[in-house]
Amino acid sequence: MIVIDFTKNSKLLTEAGVLGMLGAWTKTILRHMYGKDVQMVADLNSINMNLIKEEDEPNFIIRGKHRDVKAYATALVREKEYLDAIVDFGKKHPSAAKARANLIPAVREFESATGLKWPFKDEG
């Protein structure tokens, strides 16, 4: 079971270890969105999009203020949409640019709401 808890003292959440765990949890959630065989550092053109079986899905608990959890969920979905656009059309395609433009404010809202840095950065 994975527990993401935004209810902790904000000073504790900014520690590098906690940020690393948030990144690892987010990667795990994305991995389960894409399928268990996805390598997170893989060439996006080689991703195997096999769906995982429902019984293999992990249990996730995400706690926190409504704004924190909503910001996390929104940023996570926008991250997936951006990655999907890159896989489907390539990074330079207008669809990928639009998905990235939708991701940027979601990441800002997450960072503003939680005081945490979004665990993924796109170099443009």
3-state secondary structure of 86: helix
Range from 17-21, 45-49, 83-87, 118-122 carrying the lowest mean pLDDT: 45-49
Q: Is residue 122 domain-resident?
A: no
pLDDT in tens, 21-40: 677 777 777 777 776 655 55
Domain containing 35 equals 2-114
Q: Is residue 120 domain-resident?
A: no
Q: What is the DSSP string of 35-74?
A: -TT--TTS-GGG---PPPPGGGPPPEEEES-HHHHHHHHH
Query: Ramachandran region of residue 121, left (φ > 0), alpha (ψ -120 to 50) or beta?
Result: beta
Q: Is residue 18 domain-resident?
A: yes
Q: Is residue 121 domain-resident?
A: no
Q: Is residue 56 domain-resident?
A: yes
From residue 34, alpha-carbon distances to 23, 40, 77, 110, 124 in Å are 16, 10, 12, 22, 22
Q: Is residue 25 domain-resident?
A: yes
Note the pTM of the prediction, 2 decimals.
0.60
* pLDDT computed for residue 48 by the predictor: 47
Q: Is residue 123 domain-resident?
A: no
3-state secondary structure of 5: strand
pLDDT in tens, 85-113: 999 999 999 999 999 999 999 999 999 99
Task: Count how many domains the chain has.
Answer: 1
Q: Is residue 124 domain-resident?
A: no
